[in-house]
């Protein structure tokens, strides 16, 4: 039995989801997810880990589909609603998904799938009432695949089992003291752990209410806050930055009203990227809250968190969460002493099972059972502080992880591009922005169409925001591109 879904029967009459100005109870969620499961099974006893992709707006349908796939024994693959077709196609091909469930607004976007692949088309609106038996699901089963960028050109599918997801939920629910009285606003994309596990699954595990907005919109977010029902909020630093900018241009009376409501919140969390102390301070002035900063990753959910009740240290990510083992190691793999930087390695049931169909990449990312995060940190007075990453090819922009190599690979396919180098450069709002240095092919003097050309090949957040044309990239004596040097040059532009 899947513990998250099992626990819902304690709360059948409580509100589980608010979306599109409608409330849906845990009972409705159980009923609708069973209908979806039966439709997926179509007479089979068990989906036996078949991959089922889905693309719907954040809201009740999303949750009912996720639970329906799990209840039928499938692996849930949430597609990003903002991705171009090329990114969606990549995921469907990589997972060999057997079906895609979609709402009508995404029909045009995904319709080429039905000629490119043999895949069952399931419009959510056409899933009606069916009846049947549902299989018993072992918690060791694979439950979800989320795509993440890494130090390889193509995104990798991170596979988590029901046990992994349960461990990720339990440690947060305990440490942050979730309860059925909680009401959280979820404005994050639902193809990453922050929106899916930290917000949605923790809320539903607790019998709380998860309210959705269709997209990120500061005005709408503050309207919801003003109603005074929401008491929990979690977002990436860029979102706090944007909320602060919006708040600052509101009239005094409205600012006072909003600040009053925010002051009554139980908890506000920031994560997915480093929280600038300036953002923490500005948000403290507005809300009276010291944002709780925590650290995590698609491969492990959350691992390190500032305390819920104790003193939160600005600029630090805190202490290991319950059930999560953390160690810092040097380049030789030996443990480092307090005060010395090392790579964060993680062990625990929260850690993912494998990269989908990539046994070598999976093996390379572990050492003696510890997952190698690639993040460098230091432990100071019992609290961890992130110093950076061991790869310049990973960029974090707006809380999204982006691979420089993936963008370079695509840029090199442009008919005017001979070579290129992509780096992340610091930016107050976005954390980092993607910057590309381009070497043009002989006879080509400019690339006016580049942004347009990239738009159907890459999601918007991966498209470079800063460009430079060079005769050659900075290189070391061996001829290897020196990305740190390129980063420096492009930061100074
Ligand atoms: C968008 N824009 C960017 C950009 N993304 N500019 C620079 N860098 C970027 N990365 C620009 C667009 O071109 C557009 O500009 C404008 O911003 C609005 O675009 P949009 O696509 O509508 O963006 P918006 O909806 O405002 O998105 C911003 C955001 C989004 C911050 C809400 O990036 C977001 O939801 N981030 C959260 C990602 C997340 O959940 N990560 C968690 C991963 S899990 P113009 O000029 O056209 O107006 C993880 C583990 C963990 O990391 O620890 O949690
Ligand atoms: P993702 O692969 O999208 O799950 O992103 C995980 C990465 O986000 C981590 O490896 C870190 O580099 C980064 N990250 C998450 N939380 C924090 C934080 N609080 N401070 C700095 N970096 C963070």
Residue nearest to atom 21 of ligand 2 (CA): 274
Percentage, residues of the chain above pLDDT 90: 94
Q: What is the largest CA-CA distance in the chain?
A: 69
Rounded CA-CA distance 421/472 in Å is: 10
Q: Is the pLDDT of residue 220 over 90?
A: yes
Q: Please state the rounded mean pLDDT for residues 200-229.
A: 97
- The 10s digit of each residue's pLDDT in 72-93 is 999 999 999 999 999 999 999 9
Rounded CA-CA distance 95/79 in Å is: 12
Q: Please state the rounded mean pLDDT for residues 33-57.
A: 96
Q: Is the pLDDT of residue 152 over 80?
A: no
To test the pocket of ligand 2, the residue of 239, 273, 298 to mutate (highest count of ligand atoms within 8 Å of its CB) is 273
- Domains located in the chain, CATH noted: 394-491 (3.30.300.30)
Rounded CA-CA distance 487/108 in Å is: 39
Find out whether the beta carbon of 234 lies less than 6 Å from any atom of ligand 2.
no
Contact by Cβ (8 Å): 374, 394: yes
Q: Is the pLDDT of residue 276 over 90?
A: yes
How far away, in angstroms, is 78 Cα from ligand 1 center?
18
Find out whether the beta carbon of 297 lies less than 6 Å from any atom of ligand 2.
yes
HEC secondary structure over the chain: CCHHHHHHHHHCCCEEEEECCEEEEHHHHHHHHHHHHHHHHCCCCCCCCCEEEEECCCCHHHHHHHHHHHHCCCEEEECCCCCCHHHHHHHHHHHCCCEEEECHHHHHHHCCHHHHCCCEEEEHHHCCCCCCCCCCCCCCCEEEEEEECCCCCCCEEEEEEHHHHHHHHHHHHHHCCCCCCCEEEECCCCCCHHHHHHHHHHHHHHCCEEEECCCCCHHHHHHHHHCCCCCEEEECHHHHHHHHHHHHCCCHHHHHHHHHHHHCCCEEEECCCCCCHHHHHHHHHHHCCCCEEEEEECCCEEEEECCCCCCCCCCCCEEECCCCEEEEECCCCCECCCCCCEEEEEECCCCCCEECCCHHHHHHCEECCEEEEEEEEEEECCEEEEEEECCCCEEEECCEEEEHHHHHHHHCCCCCEEEEEEEEEEECCCEEEEEEEEEECCCCCCCCCHHHHHHCCCCHHHCCCEEEECCCCCECCCCCECHHHHHHHHHCC
How far away, in angstroms, is 238 Cα from ligand 1 center?
8
To test the pocket of ligand 1, the residue of 460, 462, 463 to mutate (highest count of ligand atoms within 8 Å of its CB) is 460
- The 10s digit of each residue's pLDDT in 301-350 is 999 999 999 999 999 999 999 999 999 999 999 999 999 999 999 999 99
Residue nearest to atom 1 of ligand 1 (CA): 461
Q: Please state the rounded mean pLDDT for residues 61-70.
A: 98
Residue nearest to atom 3 of ligand 2 (CA): 401
Helix axes 237-248, 218-226, angle to 10 degrees: 80
- The 10s digit of each residue's pLDDT in 402-413 is 999 999 999 999
Residue nearest to atom 23 of ligand 2 (CA): 273
Find out whether the beta carbon of 300 lies less than 6 Å from any atom of ligand 2.
no
Q: What is the pTM of this model?
A: 0.97
Considering every ligand atom shown, identify the ligand nearest to the alpha carbon of residue 187 and give its number: 1
Q: Is the pLDDT of residue 448 over 90?
A: no
Between the alpha carbon of residue 288 and those of residues 262, 264, 266, 291, the distances in Å are 8, 9, 11, 9
Q: What is the pLDDT of residue 191?
A: 98
Chain centre distance of CA 13: 30
pLDDT band at 215 (very low <50, low <70, confident <90, very high): confident
Find out whether the beta carbon of 15 lies less than 6 Å from any atom of ligand 2.
no
To test the pocket of ligand 2, the residue of 401, 406, 426 to mutate (highest count of ligand atoms within 8 Å of its CB) is 401
Which residues lie with the beta carbon below 6 Å from any ligand 1 atom? 188-189, 192-195, 216, 236, 238-239, 271-272, 296-298, 397-400, 430, 433, 460-461, 465
Considering every ligand atom shown, identify the ligand nearest to the alpha carbon of residue 302 and give its number: 1
Considering every ligand atom shown, identify the ligand nearest to the alpha carbon of residue 434 and give its number: 1
pLDDT band at 64 (very low <50, low <70, confident <90, very high): very high
pLDDT band at 153 (very low <50, low <70, confident <90, very high): confident
Considering every ligand atom shown, identify the ligand nearest to the alpha carbon of residue 168 and give its number: 1
Could you tell me the two tokens for 32? 């609708």
How far away, in angstroms, is 414 Cα from ligand 1 center?
25
How far away, in angstroms, is 322 Cα from ligand 2 center?
19
Find out whether the beta carbon of 386 lies less than 6 Å from any atom of ligand 2.
yes
The strand pair at 354-355 and 156-161 is best described as antiparallel
Q: Which residues contact 393 (CB under 8 A, 6 or more apart)?
A: 151, 403, 404, 405, 483
Find out whether the beta carbon of 279 lies less than 6 Å from any atom of ligand 2.
no
Q: What is the pLDDT of residue 443?
A: 87
Atom of ligand 2 nearest to the CA of 193: 4
Q: Which residues contact 49 (CB under 8 A, 6 or more apart)?
A: 73, 74, 75, 141, 142
Contact by Cβ (8 Å): 288, 259: yes
Beta-bridge partners for 24: 17
Q: What is the mean pLDDT of the chain?
A: 96
Q: Is the pLDDT of residue 132 over 90?
A: no
Q: Please state the rounded mean pLDDT for residues 445-472.
A: 93
Q: Please state the rounded mean pLDDT for residues 57-66.
A: 98
> Beta-carbon neighbour count of residue 444 at 10 Å?
15
Q: What is the pLDDT of residue 444?
A: 86
Chain centre distance of CA 143: 16
Q: What is the pLDDT of residue 150?
A: 79
Atom of ligand 2 nearest to the CA of 294: 19
Percentage, residues of the chain above pLDDT 70: 100
């Amino acid at each position: 039995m899947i513990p998250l879904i099992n626990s819902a029967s304690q709360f059948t009459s409580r509100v589980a989801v608010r979306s599109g100005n409608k409330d849906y109870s845990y009972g409705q969620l159980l009923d609708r997810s069973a209908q979806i499961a039966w439709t997926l099974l179509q007479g089979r006893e068990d989906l036996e880990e078949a991959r089922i992709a889905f693309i719907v707006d954040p809201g009740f349908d999303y949750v009912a589909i996720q639970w329906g796939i799990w209840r039928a024994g499938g692996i849930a693959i949430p597609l990003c609603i903002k991705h171009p077709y090329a990114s969606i196609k990549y995921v469907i091909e990589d997972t060999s998904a057997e079906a895609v469930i979609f709402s009508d607004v995404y029909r045009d976007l995904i319709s080429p799938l039905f000629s490119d692949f043999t895949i069952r088309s399931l419009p959510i609106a056409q899933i009606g009432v069916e009846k049947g038996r549902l299989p018993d699901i072992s918690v060791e089963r694979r439950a979800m695949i989320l795509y993440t960028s890494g130090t390889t050109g193509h995104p990798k599918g991170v596979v988590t089992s029901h046990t992994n997801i349960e461990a990720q939920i339990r440690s947060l629910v305990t440490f942050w003291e979730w309860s059925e009285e909680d009401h959280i606003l979820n404005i994050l994309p639902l193809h990453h752990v922050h929106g899916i596990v930290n917000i949605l699954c923790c809320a539903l595990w607790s019998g709380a209410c998860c309210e959705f907005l269709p997209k990120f919109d500061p005005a709408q977010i503050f309207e919801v806050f003003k109603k005074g029902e929401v008491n929990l909020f979690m977002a990436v630093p860029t979102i706090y930055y944007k909320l602060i900018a919006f708040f600052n241009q509101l009239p005094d009376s409205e600012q006072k009203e909003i600040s009053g409501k925010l002051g009554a919140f139980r908890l506000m969390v920031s994560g997915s990227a480093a929280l600038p102390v300036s953002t923490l301070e500005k948000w403290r002035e507005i809300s009276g809250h010291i944002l709780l900063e925590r650290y995590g990753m698609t491969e492990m959910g959350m691992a390190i968190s500032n305390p819920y009740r104790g003193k939160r240290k600005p600029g630090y990510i805190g202490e290991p969460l319950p059930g999560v083992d953390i160690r810092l190691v040097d380049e030789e793999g030996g443990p480092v002493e307090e005060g010395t930087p090392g790579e964060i390695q993680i062990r625990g049931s929260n850690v993912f099972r494998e990269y989908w169909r990539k046994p070598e990449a999976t093996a390379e990312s572990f050492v003696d059972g510890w997952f190698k995060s690639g993040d460098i940190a230091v432990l100071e007075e019992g609290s961890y502080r992130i110093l950076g990453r061991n790869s310049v090819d990973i960029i974090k922009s707006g809380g999204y992880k982006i691979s420089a190599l993936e963008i370079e690979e695509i840029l090199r396919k442009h008919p005017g591009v001979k070579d290129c180098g992509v780096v992340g450069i610091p930016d107050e709002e976005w954390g980092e922005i993607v910057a590309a240095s381009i070497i043009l092919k002989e006879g080509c003097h400019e690339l006016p169409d580049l942004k347009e050309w990239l738009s159907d090949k890459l999601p918007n957040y991966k498209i470079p925001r800063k460009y430079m044309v060079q005769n050659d990239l900075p290189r070391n004596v061996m001829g290897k591109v020196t990305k740190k040097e390129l980063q420096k040059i492009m930061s100074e532009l």
